[in-house]
Chains A and B, each alone.
Chain A
């Protein structure tokens, strides 16, 4: 089918492995995303807190710089588990905002233009489609959560005295694991919303509503029933609870807000986040069809 010949000819060349084709979606989605200057700006801004954290770590490990500061008691600059808990909390909130911008367009665009039959009429499963779109968010949110956290951890390990890394190596697990569950939950939720709501602005609104309305309802439930189980609907707090346990926090002050330390068992918090992921998968399964069946 050479251009100059203007004749149809079948393709006889090699093919890529089937398992790798989901990544085509990821690649094309990233290419589209990076065309937007606003997105690039947002991504850069998402990493600004990390620079501040890095500066703090540098100062905390540099006596000369500390001596130049007017107020520098040595214990003010402490880089321990609590510090990394704060980094993870800040970066996961940044990830939430980034996700609200990127997530809603990923599937909605394909559904609006009826492109799904084109994908699914190829040797390409629905699971490949979801995996391809999910990878966009997972890679992007990883780039602003656990990846910079680990870099900051490495920076601290490099600057601190010998032995710090070995006594704090366990922190890699909560950094990766807690960021992981948050990323997975956010990504699946925004894909489900994207598959459900076609307009970007509405989808972004729905993501916010999904986080804030259940929190309010939970508080109402607590007030009426005189219990604290309504907090299960506060997904951010459930994540912080998991995070606090992961980082072996001894008190909840500054992490869990007004929530008591032992009000909700940690397995229940895990259960809520996993349930949210499963619910998102159910929605995706219902919405991502090449054709809709007409009931009657």
Chain B
């Protein structure tokens, strides 16, 4: 089994006398972890705690086996961080800014310069690298922040709302980059976002926070594997024989009023076969809705569960 990427042991964080994170407990083992939650759920506070910016008032959190508070310096040497808000040095050229950050991370000057150029070209800002960062558009600033986060070759990349303020093509490009980075090396990824699609496209596991508590920890890979197809049917003339025949094929059926039937389909059964059974039994299918459980369902389900604890769904 993979070593845990993040271990939360009753983590509680208080800021300004207010408890923001309430005893978070859970283990996240995947290489790409998504952090989801509505505004004010505590996502950024959790990230800041992982980076050692906030000390836990109770409990602890270990990242890549290191305590976020006691081993903060060692942990930070493994991390690349892309903050949510504007974070740059306006007067510096893009490449100089990234070089500066790489040197602070410990790269010798020449290597830092080389990596800064490479990172800038890699994120697609090669043409703009000699322009002052202050003159960049919002999307370019996001990419420059990504470049500074990867230039020193971190083991864990923490991205806080990376696609904020980006137009759809730029967002798509950034998501592709994140996936490439993830696949090109053994780098771990923690991506915080309120955009479910961003997380769904890049992460293997999600931690859903709500009001500073864990609403759910969900392994998306397992979830995708176990995910079943649902059919929602509106029928006319459906008798018991119709559902019995479907059940004989391996489907699970639930019959409701007005001819509405919900069918859970096993992988081996195709929708075509449902139509065939309906034709055989003289059943009219007036409407069919076919879908899989998405991250949105998982998220909404977690949000609906009031007082949801650390359980897996």
Interface, chain A (partner B; CB < 8 A): 1-3, 6-16, 18, 21, 24-25, 28, 32, 109-110, 112-125, 289-291, 293-296
Sample 26 A-B pairs with CB under 8 A, ordered by A number.
A1-B122, A6-B121, A7-B184, A8-B184, A11-B107, A11-B111, A11-B152, A15-B106, A15-B108, A21-B103, A109-B91, A113-B90, A114-B85, A117-B53, A117-B81, A117-B87, A118-B87, A118-B88, A118-B101, A121-B158, A122-B79, A123-B76, A123-B105, A294-B16, A295-B16, A296-B16
With a cutoff of 8 Å between Cβ atoms, the chain B residues found around residue A112 in the complex are 90
Task: Give a binary string over B177-206; 1 marks a CB under 8 Å from any A CB, 0 the rest.
Answer: 000110011110000000000000000000
CB distance from B280 to the nearest CB of A (A): 55
> Contact partner of A113 among B73, B88, B126, CB < 8 A?
B88
CB distance from B183 to the nearest CB of A (A): 9
A2 nearest CB neighbor, chain B only: B118
Interface members, chain B 116-159 (any A CB < 8 Å): 117-119, 121-122, 126, 134, 148, 150-153, 155, 158
CB distance from B101 to the nearest CB of A (A): 6
CB distance from A169 to the nearest CB of B (A): 40
With a cutoff of 8 Å between Cβ atoms, the chain A residues found around residue B187 in the complex are 8, 10
The 3 closest A-B pairs by CB, nearest first: A11-B153, A295-B16, A15-B106
> How many B residues face the partner with a CB closer than 8 A?
53
With a cutoff of 8 Å between Cβ atoms, the chain A residues found around residue B85 in the complex are 114
With a cutoff of 8 Å between Cβ atoms, the chain B residues found around residue A119 in the complex are 104
- Is B59 in the interface zone, CB < 8 Å from A? no
**Extra contacts besides A3-B118, A9-B184, A122-B105 (12): CB < 8 Å:** A6-B121, A7-B184, A8-B181, A13-B111, A16-B103, A25-B104, A109-B91, A112-B90, A116-B87, A121-B51, A290-B51, A293-B16
CB distance from A138 to the nearest CB of B (A): 20
Question: Are B108 and A14 in contact, with the CB atoms below 8 A?
Answer: yes
Question: Are B89 and A110 in contact, with the CB atoms below 8 A?
Answer: yes
Question: Are B108 and A13 in contact, with the CB atoms below 8 A?
Answer: yes
- Is B230 in the interface zone, CB < 8 Å from A? no
With most chain A CB atoms within 10 A of its CB, the pick from B73, B91, B104 is B104
CB distance from A110 to the nearest CB of B (A): 7
CA distance A6 to B177 in the complex (A): 11
CB distance from B51 to the nearest CB of A (A): 5
With a cutoff of 8 Å between Cβ atoms, the chain B residues found around residue A116 in the complex are 87
With a cutoff of 8 Å between Cβ atoms, the chain B residues found around residue A293 in the complex are 15-16, 54
With a cutoff of 8 Å between Cβ atoms, the chain B residues found around residue A3 in the complex are 117-118, 121, 126
With a cutoff of 8 Å between Cβ atoms, the chain B residues found around residue A289 in the complex are 53
Interface members, chain B 163-180 (any A CB < 8 Å): 180
- Is B258 in the interface zone, CB < 8 Å from A? no
Question: Are B87 and A6 in contact, with the CB atoms below 8 A?
Answer: no
Question: Are B180 and A16 in contact, with the CB atoms below 8 A?
Answer: no
Known: A11-B153, A32-B91, A122-B104. A291 touches B76 (CB 8 A): no
